[in-house]
Amino acid sequence: MMKNNIEDMTLKEVQYLIKRIEKGTLDESRDKEESQPKKENGQRLVLKLIEEFGELAENIRKNTRFDGQNIKGTIEEEAFDVFYYIIAIANYYEIDLEKIFYIKDELNKVKYEREFSIYEAREKWKNIIENKKNKKEEGK
């Protein structure tokens, strides 16, 4: 049964959650224990990403969408799986995706001559969310 999210997850939180899933424990003191040799685990993650990307491509070709009931074999399921393995690879290489997002975005802003910064886009997003929350409270 799905629960409604009270809050949106941050990228840092997603990375932490996937790290815990990959480690198979919430006990951070066991993080140094390696269940597989490091090289083998990195290869496993990349191969799983490629596999999931192929499944995503197939579901896009078939236009198989989540109908609100069954997510199995849908674009949504496979997009999640691709996202999961990208995050797992970032965790494996100890990449702080949120930090890199901002660094890489500065390069892309110049490269694509974009007129706004990611910081401005975040402020816009926060305002949209705040306005939605205010409208919802007014309707009560």
Rounded to an integer, what distance in angstroms lies between the CA atom of residue 46 and that of residue 108? 25
DSSP 3-46: PPPSSPPPHHHHHHHHHHHHHT-S-GGGTT--SS-HHHHHHHHH
**70 found inside a domain:** yes
Q: Would you state the structure tokens that stand for residue 139, as one six-digit string?
A: 């309707």
Domain region containing 50: 9-95
Both 62 and 102 in a single domain? no
Residues 19 and 67 in one domain: yes
Residue 1, pLDDT score:
43
Structure tokens at 72: 């199995």
Residues 115 and 56 occupy one common structural domain: no
Distance in angstroms (rounded) separating the CA atoms of residues 95 and 21 = 17
Count of structural domains within the chain: 2
Domain co-membership, 117 together with 51: no
pTM: 0.79
Cα–Cα distance measured from residue 21 to residue 25, given in angstroms and rounded to the nearest whole number: 7
12-60 pLDDT, tens digit each: 999 999 999 998 889 888 777 665 566 678 999 999 999 999 999 999 9
Residues 120 and 63 in one domain: no
